[in-house]
Amino acid sequence: MLQGLFVFGWPEQYFSSLLSNAPIGFTAMALGTLLTGFLSRVRFDGMVEDLAASAFGKVNDDDLKEEGGEFYASLVVLVVTSVWTYLLSQYVNAAPVVEKVKGEKEPGKEL
């Protein structure tokens, strides 16, 4: 909810705004969890390290045998969930479109 407050300002009806933004966070968490599990299963970090080793030179095989973290997978999850949250926040928090009635004058053009 803080993200929505910083980007879009304080809403007129806080509770309804909270309820409309809560699913964004829940779906981002679920997406992040599923993507982390998938990238871990396909050993994404090992593939990135192998690609980097072949592109920039051979790395010592003893270094690759050590159990590392999931740094590259975390970066991918961060980017995907950030884009997901941004797009959904833009959609949910966008101002409603006001349709112009035919023959109605715009207030700015009357001056």
| Residue 77 · residue 35 · CB < 8 Å | yes
Question: What's the average model confidence in pLDDT over 81-91?
Answer: 93
> Does residue 79 lie within any of the structural domains?
yes
Three-class SS string for the chain?
CHHHHHHHCCCCCHHHHHHHHHHHHHHHHHHHHHHHHHHHHCCHHHHHHHHHHHHHCCCCHHHHHCCCCCHHHHHHHHHHHHHHHHHHHHHHHCCCCCCCCCCCCCHHHCC
Look at the chain and report how many structural domains it folds into.
1
Both structure tokens of 54: 């072949």
pTM of model > 0.85:
no
Domain membership flag for residue 2? no
31: containing domain: 23-92
Q: What is the rounded CA–CA span in Å between residue 14 and residue 19?
A: 9
Do the domain assignments include residue 37?
A: yes
Q: Is residue 109 part of a domain?
A: no
Give the per-residue pLDDT at 107. Answer: 64
Q: Indicate the pLDDT class of residue 92, thresholds 50, 70 and 90.
A: confident
- How confident is the model at residue 76, as a pLDDT? 96
pLDDT, tens only, 25-56: 999 999 999 999 999 999 999 898 888 888 88
Least confident range of 45-49, 60-64, 85-89: 60-64
